[in-house]
């Protein structure tokens, strides 16, 4: 991990420390060199009495309460929308920056929605401590790959088909998928309490609510969040989001239509130099992005880079990408936002 502007003396709070995203954030925290005695870990009441080891130090879990953000510099929230809505403003009132991984504030026009590789300047540092929202995982994975091409040629239309892992539904969904594999191997009945259906050897429409127009919430997030992040209210986006029986790392098939011509060769140059992108595009050996290879690493893998046959030459490209939903799709992006905040504090 690269050196972080977050220093040992900063006080950090992690709300949702025992969840999948919170646990990943703690790994990033431990690797950063932050003094563990300056870390406050917050979880639900059922976790009380437990401790979590961070950088070799056992830290007791706390519950949310008045005063828990006193003297905190940065509070990372990954405990769900209702917790964030109630407690992120309280953290800011106590003088902390709140980096929120839920959907609570993403479309609030007064709250910055930030992918550090895409729009770091959206954070209004002059206003002092504030809430900064982390986009949805599928939006992050798509835009880390698509934004460098958008800057070059102007994306007028984007179509996305997602292949989303169990990690997007939390640690319990990951455990259920694993348990179904064990049940299948031993000819036992499968637990289907999370999704209400067999997940193993199956794919199904994303489990978020369907709106009146037939799009689910996950698909709507890709549209509205991209428009906000890019500051492009007219860009046309259509998505189909699907759950696939993968433990960790989302994949996406992305089609881009451009305002200006962009050759495949130039697109490869741009993506090869883009931050947080790793080009994996070996046609000779049929090696392209796969979730197993994306799991646990920082970059978004980008491959299947090819012209779109349905458009005039140079006016569109097709991509296939894979990114770790827990890492760059959540915790790592939150950490890099905290990096931006820390760097500003040191300036």
User: Can you give the three-state secondary structure of 40-57, one letter per residue?
Assistant: EEECCHHHCCCEEEECCE
Is there a single domain that holds both residue 101 and residue 242? Answer: no
Is there a single domain that holds both residue 245 and residue 258? Answer: yes
In a domain, 2, yes or no: no
pLDDT beyond 60 at 317: yes
The Cβ of residue 5 has, within 10 Å, a number of other Cβ atoms equal to 16
Give the model's pLDDT for residue 3: 57
In a domain, 224, yes or no: yes
Is there a single domain that holds both residue 70 and residue 102? Answer: yes
In a domain, 3, yes or no: no
CA–CA distances in Å: residue 307 to residues 15, 22, 176, 239, 338:
44, 39, 39, 20, 37
Domain that holds residue 248: 138-325
Span 32-55, pLDDT tens digits: 888 888 899 998 887 788 888 888
In a domain, 70, yes or no: yes
CA-closest candidate to residue 12, choices 55, 75, 92, 80: 75
Span 183-217, pLDDT tens digits: 999 999 999 999 999 999 999 999 999 999 999 99
User: What's the rounded Cα separation, in Å, for the pair 35 and 235?
Assistant: 44
Is there a single domain that holds both residue 182 and residue 195? Answer: yes
The percentage of the chain sitting over the pLDDT mark of 90, rounded to a whole number, equals 85
Is there a single domain that holds both residue 110 and residue 28? Answer: yes
Mean pLDDT of the chain: 94
Is there a single domain that holds both residue 199 and residue 254? Answer: yes
Is there a single domain that holds both residue 160 and residue 270? Answer: yes
- Which CATH number is 335's domain given? 3.40.50.720
Is there a single domain that holds both residue 47 and residue 176? Answer: no
Is there a single domain that holds both residue 142 and residue 37? Answer: no
In a domain, 99, yes or no: yes
As for how many domains the chain has, the answer is 2
Is there a single domain that holds both residue 196 and residue 289? Answer: yes
User: What's the rounded Cα separation, in Å, for the pair 71 and 68?
Assistant: 9
Is there a single domain that holds both residue 293 and residue 205? Answer: yes
**Average confidence (pLDDT) over 212-230:** 97
- Which CATH number is 295's domain given? 3.30.360.10
Q: Which residues are catalytic?
A: 137, 250
Give the model's pLDDT for residue 196: 96
């Amino acid at each position: 991990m690269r050196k972080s502007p977050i220093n040992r003396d900063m006080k950090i709070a992690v709300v949702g420390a025992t969840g999948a995203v919170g646990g990943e954030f703690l790994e990033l925290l431990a690797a950063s060199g932050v003094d563990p005695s300056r870390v406050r870990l917050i979880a639900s009441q059922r976790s009380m009495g437990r401790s979590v080891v961070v950088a070799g130090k056992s830290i007791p879990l706390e519950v949310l309460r008045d005063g828990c953000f006193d003297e905190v510099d940065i509070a990372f929230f990954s405990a769900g929308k209702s917790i964030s809505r109630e407690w992120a403003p309280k953290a800011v009132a106590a003088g902390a920056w709140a980096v929120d991984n839920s959907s609570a504030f993403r479309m609030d026009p007064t709250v910055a929605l930030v992918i550090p590789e895409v729009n770091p300047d959206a954070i209004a540092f002059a206003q002092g401590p504030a809430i900064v929202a982390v986009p949805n995982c599928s939006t992050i994975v798509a835009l880390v790959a698509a934004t460098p091409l958008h800057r070059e040629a102007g994306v007028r239309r984007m179509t996305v088909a997602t292949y989303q892992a169990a990690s997007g539904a939390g640690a319990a969904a990951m455990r259920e998928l694993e348990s179904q594999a064990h049940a299948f191997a031993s000819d036992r009945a499968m637990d289907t309490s999370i999704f209400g259906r067999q997940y193993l050897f199956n794919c199904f429409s994303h489990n978020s609510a369907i709106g009146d127009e037939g799009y689910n919430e996950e698909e709507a997030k890709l549209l509205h969040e991209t428009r906000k992040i890019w500051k492009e209210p007219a860009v046309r986006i259509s998505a189909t989001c699907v759950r696939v029986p993968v433990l960790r790392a989302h994949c996406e098939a992305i089609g881009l239509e451009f305002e200006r011509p962009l050759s495949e060769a130039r697109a490869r140059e741009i993506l090869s130099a883009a931050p947080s992108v790793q080009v994996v595009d070996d046609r000779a050996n049929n090696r392209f992005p796969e979730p197993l290879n994306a799991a646990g690493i920082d970059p978004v893998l980008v491959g299947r880079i090819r012209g779109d046959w349905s458009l005039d030459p140079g006016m569109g490209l097709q991509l296939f990408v894979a990114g770790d939903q827990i890492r760059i799709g959540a915790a790592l992006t939150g950490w890099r936002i905290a990096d931006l905040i820390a760097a500003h504090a040191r300036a």
